[in-house]
Structure 1
Amino acid sequence: MAVRGRDIGLRAASAVVLAPAAVAATWAGGVWFLALMVAACVVLAFEWAAMSAPHARRLMGGAVTFGLVASVVSAHFGAMAVAFIMLVFGAAAAGVYARSRGQQALDAAYGVLYLGWPAVLLIWLRDVDSTVGLHWTVLVFAVAWSADILAYLVGSTVGGPKLWPRFSPNKTWSGFVGGIVAGAVAGAVMAAWVDMGRLTVFWGAILGLAAALATMGGDLWESALKRRFGVKDAGNTIPGHGGLLDRVDGLMFAVVVVAVGRLAVLMLERGG
């Protein structure tokens, strides 16, 4: 129990330091949010390189960073088509460069797409200075963090059958249920509390449930990737959590689901 208590303490301390910075940059928007995203992309790129190409982590980290930052900056200036083109180009360029250095081209290319797709969509969700865009971005954080924290707490407290022991031996079905319930509640609360366009409380709960499922899926997917690369954590950037990728793996999947939800609401609003 002492080890678990110390682990929870490290997680809490890391959250106290990192969460306010992320929330402040998200609230400010504009260049501050861009700076947050660029910094996150650089860290994630080098963590991915350390996992997938440990003998050439600096070279591969730089190659993946190029594709990510080019896409994120393009999205920040509203050039979404260019952002997705840069994402594909960056993935191809990283793959070619990796092969020229004797590394796995597919791993490098996949790293750009895996990390870049949600980063671009998160920039789109924030929509620079849009108040409603801020609310949708907060929804992503609220659902993903709620699902992640409750899944950990419920799973640690209740225990029970393992969810996917082959790739993630510590995750339980009880934690999974706790996580999706927390996500649904977070989605409903956000829809009731702030302006989310035509997103009702009911559909906010449904979207939160779907995003929480995506959060759980993203966490499991990264566990499978780490098992493939033979590592326990993506890095040691955040005490108690491992690497930044270990902290945002579920968030990245949740962003995609929430972005689809926002697109559906936008289409509904434009259709009258």
Structure 2
Amino acid sequence: MAVKGRDIALRAASAVVLAPAAVAATWAGGVWFLGLMVAACIVLAFEWAAMSAPHARRVMGGAVSFGVVAAVISAHFGAMSVAFVMLVFGAVAAGVYARSRGQQALDASYGVLYLGWPAVLLIWLRAVDSPVGLHWTVLVFAVAWSADILAYLAGSTLGGPKLWPRFSPNKTWSGFIGGLVAGTIAGAVMTAWVDMGRLTIFWGAALGLAAALATMGGDLWESALKRRFGVKDAGNTIPGHGGLLDRVDGLMFAVVVVAAGRLVVLMLERAA
């Protein structure tokens, strides 16, 4: 129990240091949010490279970074079609370059799509200088962080049957259920608290539940990837947490669900 207590304390200390910077950049939007996203994508790209190509992490990291950052910058300027084209082009280019250096082309290509798709959608959600865009972006963070934190606390405290021992031996059903409850509540609270357009509290809770489920799925998916590459953590960027990818794996999946929810709301608003 003492070890878990120290682990939780170290995680909390890291969050206290890093969370304010992320919150401030998200609140400010514009170039500040773009800067946050570019920096995060570069770190994630090199963590992916360290996992998938440990003997050529600079080569792989540079190739994946190029594809992801180019797409993110395109999305920042509102060119979403260009951003998605850049993702595909970047994935192909990264694969070709990796293969020319004796690395797995599929790992490089997948890295660009795996990291770039949610990054582009998060830029779209934030919608430069849009107050409603800020609310939707905060919804993603609120649901994903709530689900992640309560899943960890519930799983550590209650224990119980394992969720998927083959790929993630530490995750439990109690943590999974706790995460879903937390995400549902976060979605309802956010919808009741701020303007989310035509999103009602009921549908906010439903979206929170779906995004929390995606958060859990993203966490399990990264666990499977780490098992495939034979690593325990994606890196050691954040003390007590491992790599940045270990902290945003669920968020990356949640972004896709929330972006789909926002798209539906936009369609309803335009049809009204």
Normalised by the length of structure 2, the TM-score is 1.00
Q: How many residues align?
A: 272
Alpha-carbon separation, structure 2, partners of 1:10 and 1:64: 30
Cα separation, 2, equivalents of 1:259 and 1:248: 16
Amino acid paired to 1:113 = L
CA-CA distance at 1:203 after TM superposition: 0.1
Give the partner amino acid of 1:39: A
Unmatched 5+ stretches in structure 2: none
Map 1:113-132 onto structure 2 (within 5 A): 113-132=113-132
The residue aligned with 1:8 is 8
Aligned to 2:192: 192
Q: Which residue of 2 aligns with 1:61?
A: 61
Q: How far apart, CA to CA, are the structure 2 residues paired with 1:132 and 1:211?
A: 18
Give CA deviations for 1:107-155 in whole Å, capped at 9, x if unaligned: 0000000000000000000001000000000000000000000000001
| Contiguous gaps of at least 5 residues in structure 1 | none
Q: Partners in 1 of 2:230 and 2:170 — Cα distance?
A: 17
Distance (Å, rounded) in 2 between the aligned partners of 1:6 and 1:58:
33
AA partner of residue 130 (structure 1): S
Aligned to 1:32: 32
Partner of 1:156: 156
- Alignment partner, residue 201 of structure 1: 201
Deviations 1:70-119 (A, max 9, x none): 00000000000000000000000000001000000000000000000000
Which amino acid is the alignment partner of residue 9 of structure 1?
Answer: A
**Aligned equivalent of 1:257:** 257
Deviation for aligned residue 1:269: 0.4
Q: Equivalences for 1:68-87 in 2 at 5 Å?
A: 68-87=68-87
- List per-residue Cα deviations over 1:144-199 (Å, max 9, x = no partner): 00000000000100000000000000000000000000000000000000000000
Identify the residue that residue 214 of structure 1 maps to in structure 2: 214
Aligned to 2:91: 91
Report percent identity of matched pairs. 90
Paired amino acid for 1:177: I
**Map of 1:143 onto structure 2:** 143
Residue 78 of structure 1 aligns to which amino acid in structure 2? G
Structure 2 letter corresponding to 1:268: L
How far apart are 1:2 and its partner, in Å? 1.5
The amino acid that maps onto 2:70 is A
Distance 1:235 1:224 in 2: 15
Give 3-state SS (helix, strand or coil) of 1:92's partner: helix
3-state SS in 2 of match to 1:34: helix
Report the alpha carbon displacement of residue 266 of structure 1 after superposing the two structures with TM: 0.2
Moved over 6 A (4+): none
Aligned position for 1:223: 223
CA distance in 2, matches of 1:19, 1:263: 27
Q: Are 1:171 and 2:145 an aligned pair?
A: no
Cα distance in 1 between the residues matched to 2:239 and 2:192: 35
Instruction: Determine the C-alpha separation between the residues in 1 that align with 2:15 and 2:200.
Output: 30
Q: Distance in 1 between matches of 2:194 and 2:67?
A: 35
